[in-house]
């Protein structure tokens, strides 16, 4: 466990220093842990586990948009689990349950737990369609079509800067919509 968490902290430090690949690896590495915890939380609240992926995606968006509140001198896992816990509580509350989530739900994930295949989630996809055209196009191009920022800029005759702005605004708008709905 220690080793895994130290690795996360190292990846996050590299990510904050501008290493996009390290950031990608970190998000991929934490996702199975978040998914397992979301399933446990849903199960305890008597909710079907098929909503776990919505919660995982909400956690990932919050991690992304709030990563400036992480202190790079501090370990990454407690920060991550605090965000995940808040998001899980919010999600369960929105589904009409008052549940107390134990932070150990996240910390105690067995290292041997099989990482699941990536799964689709309904909420982000639904909110994606309510975004302004440009933000939706850019998000679709980068997320779904795996195009680079550069290729996306060429495809929509935008500057790379404009693509970056639309991407960030799109992600922030998605997060706000998920929170307020």
Determine if 81 is a binding residue for other proteins (CB under 8 A). Answer: yes
Half-sphere exposure of 54 (CA within 13 A, CB side): 20
Give the range of 3-11, 39-47, 74-82, 106-114 binding other proteins by CB under 8 A: 74-82
Among 5, 13, 44, 90, contact with other proteins (rule: CB under 8 A): 90
Among 11, 36, 38, 61, contact with other proteins (rule: CB under 8 A): 61
Question: Of 92, 84, 87, nearest to 43 (Cα)?
Answer: 92
User: With 0-12 CB in 10 A as exposed, 13-18 as middle and 19+ as buried, what is 129?
Assistant: exposed
What gap in Å lies between CA 118 and CA 3, rounded to an integer? 24
CB of 33 to other proteins, least distance (A): 13
Q: Which is nearer to other proteins, 3 or 71 (CB)?
A: 71
Q: Helix crossing, 52-65 with 20-44: angle to 10°?
A: 140
Greatest pairwise CA separation for the chain in angstroms: 49
Residues contacting other proteins: total by CB under 8 A: 52
To which residue do tokens 């995606």 refer? 57
Report the site for other proteins in 128-147 (rule: CB under 8 A).
Answer: 128, 139, 142-144, 146
Determine if 164 is a binding residue for other proteins (CB under 8 A). Answer: yes
Determine if 78 is a binding residue for other proteins (CB under 8 A). Answer: yes
Determine if 45 is a binding residue for other proteins (CB under 8 A). Answer: no
Determine if 112 is a binding residue for other proteins (CB under 8 A). Answer: no
Number of CB atoms found within 10 A of residue 171's CB: 18
Q: Are 128 and 174 in contact (CB under 8 A)?
A: yes
Determine if 153 is a binding residue for other proteins (CB under 8 A). Answer: no
Half-sphere exposure of 79 (CA within 13 A, CB side): 20
The contact set with other proteins (CB under 8 A) reads 15, 18-21, 23-24, 27-28, 31, 53, 56-57, 60-62, 64-71, 74, 78-79, 81-83, 85-86, 90, 118-121, 124-125, 128, 139, 142-144, 146, 148-149, 164, 167-168, 171, 179
């Amino acid at each position: 466990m220690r080793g895994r968490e130290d690795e996360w902290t190292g990846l996050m430090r590299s990510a904050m220093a501008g290493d996009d690949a390290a950031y990608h690896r970190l998000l991929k590495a934490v996702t199975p842990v978040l998914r397992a915890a979301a399933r446990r939380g849903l199960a305890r609240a008597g909710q079907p586990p098929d909503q776990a992926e919505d919660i995982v995606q909400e956690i990932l968006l919050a991690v992304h948009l709030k990563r400036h509140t992480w202190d790079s001198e501090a370990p990454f896992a407690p920060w991550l689990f605090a965000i995940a816990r808040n998001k899980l509580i919010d999600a369960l509350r929105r589904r009409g349950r008052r549940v107390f989530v134990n932070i150990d739900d996240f910390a105690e994930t067995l290292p041997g737990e099989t990482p699941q295949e990536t799964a689709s989630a309904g909420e982000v996809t639904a909110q994606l369609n309510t975004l302004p055209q440009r933000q939706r196009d850019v998000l679709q191009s980068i997320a779904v079509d795996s195009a680079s920022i550069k290729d996306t800029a060429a495809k929509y005759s935008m500057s790379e800067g404009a693509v970056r702005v639309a991407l960030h605004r799109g992600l922030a708008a998605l997060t706000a919509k998920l929170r307020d709905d």
